Amino acid sequence: MGGDHPYLATGPVDLLESCDVLLKLDGGSELPVHSQVLARCMPVFSGMVVAGGPLSKASVENVISVPFSDCSLEEANRFMLAVYSYKASKYIDIGSALSIAKLSHKYAMEDMVQMCDDTLAEAAGINSATADKLPVYLQNQKPESFLHIMKSASLFGMSQLLACCEYSIVLSTLTASHADVRAQCAAEPQLVCSWNRIAEGFCKAWKGSMSAGESKKGNRQPCSCACFVCCLSHRENTFGGIQHACSCSQAVVARSAAAAESFLPSPKEFMKMAKAGGSSE
């Protein structure tokens, strides 16, 4: 029983025999659950168990089937582990946080979404004063996967994960990667506010590099162009559709990018920018 439905093995007694609802997944799999657990934990189901509701007559003798779509069997089991547990965070990790957040958002479980966001933020060290490295779960992501994570974070209201994504794009801009993600991000209406913060973060980093360079002498001074897109001119010749021709050499631009990285706002600072400028939705 526990192997097929691990969430039913979290308590001291066998819960399978008392299940009165079957969640039917798209692939044909079924998960036995309890109507009262659904009603207690998921606002979407709370109205279904009252008199006259579709689950009001659910019982062990009268098991009722309910569609449970948009997830795999593994995702559904992980989600139910968190739902059934008295300590949901115990079953939320880097690998499951986004899929659990997806179902939590769908069923209006705001507290669970926040737990998922907190889990990823803690893994990224977002609350650390020295949080200046790309979170491991965002490393080596294909552009389409990265954009999916970013759009999901925006849709589900996961502000800390979204800040990590924005930080990641600015950081990768300075190392000339994730060009496809930047282009798609700029074109997504859902991510307009994110794009503005990305541009702002890049501009802050670049201007910091410029200010530091003014006090230096010799040929190691950073690129002196006034435009914050100049470090891309040798790589993509565009930043958000802006064309720019930089007269500085490749070596100078590369040094400028490295210098700008040290002035890059942290993920926590991206969160502050979001609060100052409004929602990212």
Query: Could you tell me the CA-to-CA distances from 236 to 95, 194, 262, 276 in Å, in that order?
Result: 33, 21, 22, 31
Q: In three state form, how does the secondary structure of 106-171 look?
A: HCCCHHHHHHHHHHHHHHHCCCCCCCCCCCHHHCCCCHHHHHHHHHHHHHHCCHHHHHHHHHHHHH
Expressed as residue numbers, the domain containing 142 is 125-281
Residue in the block written with tokens 């933020």:
121
- Give residue 219's pLDDT: 39
Q: How far apart are CA 195 and CA 197, in angstroms?
A: 5
Asked if the structure places residue 202 within a domain, the reply is yes
pLDDT, tens only, 105-117: 999 999 999 999 9
Count of structural domains within the chain: 1
Asked if the structure places residue 98 within a domain, the reply is no
- Give residue 278's pLDDT: 47
Asked if the structure places residue 42 within a domain, the reply is no
Two tokens at 111? 């507290």
Percent of the chain with pLDDT over 90: 26
- Give residue 257's pLDDT: 64
Asked if the structure places residue 165 within a domain, the reply is yes
Contact present, 81 and 36 (Cβ < 8 Å) = no
Q: Cα angle at 10 between 5 and 14, to 5 degrees? A: 70
Asked if the structure places residue 246 within a domain, the reply is yes
pLDDT, tens only, 214-247: 544 443 444 555 444 444 433 343 344 334 445 5
- Give residue 168's pLDDT: 82
Q: How far apart are CA 58 and CA 189, in angstroms?
A: 43
Q: Report the pLDDT averaged over residues 69-85.
A: 92
Q: Report the pLDDT averaged over residues 8-23.
A: 81
Ramachandran category for residue 203: left, alpha or beta (phi over 0 → left; psi -120 to 50 → alpha): alpha
pLDDT, tens only, 145-196: 888 899 999 999 999 999 888 888 777 765 555 556 766 777 788 888 887 8
Contact present, 33 and 21 (Cβ < 8 Å) = yes
Asked if the structure places residue 135 within a domain, the reply is yes
Asked if the structure places residue 129 within a domain, the reply is yes
Core vs surface per residue 17-41: b (16+ CB within 10 A) or e: eebbbebebeeeebbbbbbebbbeb
Asked if the structure places residue 12 within a domain, the reply is no
Has residue 71 got a pLDDT over 70?
yes
Q: Which residue has the higher pLDDT, 152 or 54?
A: 152
Has residue 62 got a pLDDT over 80?
yes
